[in-house]
Amino acid sequence: IPPYMVAEAMSSLHGLDLRWSSPITPTEMQYVEQYVKARYPEFFAKAGDARNLPVLTEDQEYIDENGRNTPGAAGPDEFKRKSPSAGQAKEWGVKKMPLEQSRLLDILTQKATSIATYTDSLSSIPEIHARNTLLRHLGVTDEDYLVVFTSSLKESMMMVGESYPFCRYMNFMTVLSEEVDWIREFASYKEAKVIVAPSNWLNLRIAGSQLSQNFRRKSKQQSPNLKGLFAFPAAENGGTRNSLHWVSEAQRNSWHVLLDASNLRLCDDQLNLTFHKPDYVLCTLSGVVGHSTTMTCLLVRRSSFGS
State whether the Cα torsion 115-117-118-121 is positive or negative: negative
**Pair (218, 272) in one structural domain:** yes
pLDDT in tens, 22-74: 456 777 777 778 777 766 666 665 554 433 333 333 333 333 334 444 333 33
Q: What angle do CA 77, 81, 83 make, to 5 degrees?
A: 105
Residue 136 lies in a domain: yes
In this prediction, residues 222-237 reach a mean pLDDT of 84
Nearest 5°: CA angle at 258, between 124 and 148?
Answer: 10
User: Is there a single domain that holds both residue 16 and residue 151?
Assistant: no
Q: What is the pLDDT of residue 101?
A: 87
Helix (H), strand (E) at residue 116: helix 103-116
Say if residue 244 is in the same domain as residue 144: yes
What are the pLDDT digits (tens) for 244-297?
A: 999 999 999 999 999 999 998 876 667 999 999 999 999 998 766 555 578 899
What CATH number does residue 204 fall under? 3.40.640.10
- Over range 135-156, report the average pLDDT: 93
Which of 94, 116, 140 is the last residue in one of the domains?
94
Choose the final residue of a domain: 94, 112, 135: 94
Q: How many domains does the chain have?
A: 2
| Selected residue with higher pLDDT from 30 and 79 | 30
- Do 150 and 46 share a structural domain? no
Whether residue 163 sits in one domain with residue 52: no
Distance CA 283, CA 299 (A): 8
For the chain, give the number of residues: 307
Angstrom distance (rounded) from CA 244 to CA 239: 15
Q: Assess whether 27 and 159 both reside in one domain.
A: no
- Contact indicator for 226, 254 with CB cutoff of 8 Å: yes
Chosen domain end from 40, 74, 94: 94
pLDDT at position 85 over 60: no
Is 194 domain-assigned? yes
SS3 299: strand
Whole-angstrom distance, CA of residue 288 vs CA of residue 294: 8
**In-domain check, residue 114:** no
Query: Where does the pLDDT of residue 169 fall: very low under 50, low under 70, confident under 90, or very high at 90 and above?
Result: confident
Residue 258, pLDDT score: 98
Q: Give the mean model confidence (pLDDT) for residues 163-177.
A: 94
Residues 251 and 206 in one domain: yes
Q: What was the pLDDT predicted at 289? A: 53
Give the pLDDT mean for 87-110: 67
Asked whether residue 134 falls in the same domain as residue 233, the answer is: yes
pTM as predicted = 0.69
Tell me the mean pLDDT in the region 7-14.
63
pLDDT value, residue 184: 96
**90 and 204 fall within a common domain:** no
83 within some domain:
yes
In a domain, 110, yes or no: no
CB burial of residue 110 (10 Å; 0-12, 13-18, 19+): middle
Strand partners, 193: 171
My answer on whether 190 and 279 are in the same domain is: yes
Residue type, 242: N
Strand duo 255-260 + 171-174: pairing:
unpaired
Q: Do residue 199 and residue 84 come from a single domain?
A: no
| 108 found inside a domain | no
Residue 10 domain boundaries: 3-94
Using the predicted structure, report yes or no on whether residue 231 has a pLDDT greater than 80. Answer: yes
Alpha-carbon torsion 76, 77, 78, 82, what sign?
positive
**Would you give the DSSP letter of residue 177?**
-
Distance between CA atoms of residues 30 and 238, nearest Å:
50
Top pLDDT among 109 and 24 is at 109
Asked, for residue 11, whether it belongs to a domain, the answer is yes
Q: Indicate whether 73 and 139 sit together in one domain.
A: no
Q: Is residue 58 part of a domain?
A: yes
Helix (H, G, I), strand (E, B) or coil at 297: strand
Tens digits of residue pLDDT in 181-198? 999 999 999 999 999 999
